[in-house]
Structure 1
């Protein structure tokens, strides 16, 4: 298994960087350092609705002896023409509005009477730009310190600061920061385009009635969801009948929109294992796919190779071809194989530093058996360590059968039983692969 994964990761290269608009870059990896062109915020501004004042004018203000100031104007967010605040004066100001010249602090509206002719503070906010109040008065009941309730220019980031460094994954907060400093686009590695298809003439689309011997196609839905969760843009082709020529033509049709192709089913040694039949015949200039039997359970039969021509990565003799991973058809085998092999490949294409799921040590709370010479992955429910403890625990969920989809749906981890262990005692420590 380790050799198979190493072959995949050694062969797959990160996708070439491209310039994307901010919202299109969500989930992508930044490939350049981004510096701040101008300070953020770009000017001193109020953090409260209230009155911009000189601190000396309100020193000693109290409920019993309020200070009366003359209101010289209103300052709303976006105001360019600012009134000058002189001795004994104040300017009504809204949250985010620039501090007017002469003002040193902001008195929150709750510390005042809201201005002559005013009702409650809500009325003040609703009519913040009413010019008739200029020249009125406001009574201030509490003093403020210098710069109190003032957001200083550059208090978030200063011009020239490093906003985000190369290698950052762009989530909502990072997109917000880029927008705040004025970046409309960034250079990133794009999200890989993944094509998912199932094989099997017995497969029926969910929502359609089942005929004799038919089952609903769950693999293409599970794998599509898993690829999205890994960060990819996914195209679900659905089920392809057990016909080698049909499969080959379907794959060829999908090459134009794929950075990686994932198939499930048809990779064993049965008479109708169409994926192996179709892709084993591909060689030479069309690429090649190798099929292997791995020392693992579930997921013994696997296929990996490169076919056709697609958007390439950086360097390497396979850069002009599309990687294809052929997974087994049993639902649990398919999903476990995706987590172990396809997810790391997708995240390698994205240029992420951490491509594999997190693994922790935990005590298993039941006795287990495992086949000799195979690394077994059992579905489990993981409980983090209690306070003061260093190890969590994990409970097996369902049996080991590779068709047991229900138990997979209730698992949040995979219990890893090593190849040399045929029996595991309750309380023994094992590696646990976290799926959430």
Structure 2
């Protein structure tokens, strides 16, 4: 016997539908049943068999499901189609509009007890919140999605875990983000759950935290695994995201041409998909590649393009992060005043809980600009604030460089002991980046 509501609820539903259609109990019963049986069923005194309910549903012109559990026919399919529409809305960068769609769809799925569709809507709401920089809300949505999928296999739950990890990463909690991603990778690989989409999503997501923590070797390995998995993955958006993340590690290894080629593939995939926000992220990473390679004019053009696109989609947190990198390029091109104005504008959108690494980057750059202008006290203040943010985030690679800057400033102003302390701190982070915060590497996938 299929799932259904209690006899009283089913009986009331049959009576309401029969009355609405102007049928008598006899007309509903014939030819297989008696009016007395319909009367007893409507009163909730008998639990109808599946066969009887199918007969009644046919006479009433409704689906069996609608009688048994009150759910209109094909509701789940219709909800899934509308969830895809919301995903498309989000992909074009209209995060607020998509969030409104997901909210309505979640309420509808909840009304009808559709757990899978509720989880999908919550994942969408989490992605919307990431785009708009509402990191606490994003994490909560992903946690609720995980709760709805508690009984599902781990690969099904991976998007929620990854979303939670990204929220922690963007909030500056690098160690915890890496822990979430690595422990999930370990569980998938050790348990033989070699789902290519799930593995690629996790490996692409862990590259950023690895790089910010100074664990370049692990980032490079994750990139290699991601590239090896890409041919097995059907989702072009996922492959494009992977190419964007991999470009960063290729660049760290000095493989600039390969990094640019990886980004070119991502751009083409996103252009095909018309995913505006992610395409903006490609311009962002391209600008980063050009900046590291000394092509500052091209870097500025790419980063300005990314900033314009992200600002148009109101992706506030990502916009602020791009602005910091653009300011660095502007400063290196001799446009320090414009860079400083840009940094002061975005610092209001960043904090230790929201974009800590880029907030530290903004203070570091403001310190350099202040030093160039011989404003020593202001420079020191910015360096110290950046140091505090990076220590909380555990961004070892950036910490070492910042300690050198602070040490040089302190030495120039005659504070030799304080300068030595700063240098020692920096050397501690440079000696073995990542080893103080990362445990054994996760098990490897069978490639």
TM-score normalized by the length of structure 1? 0.24
Computing the radius of gyration from Cα coordinates, the structure with the larger value is: 1
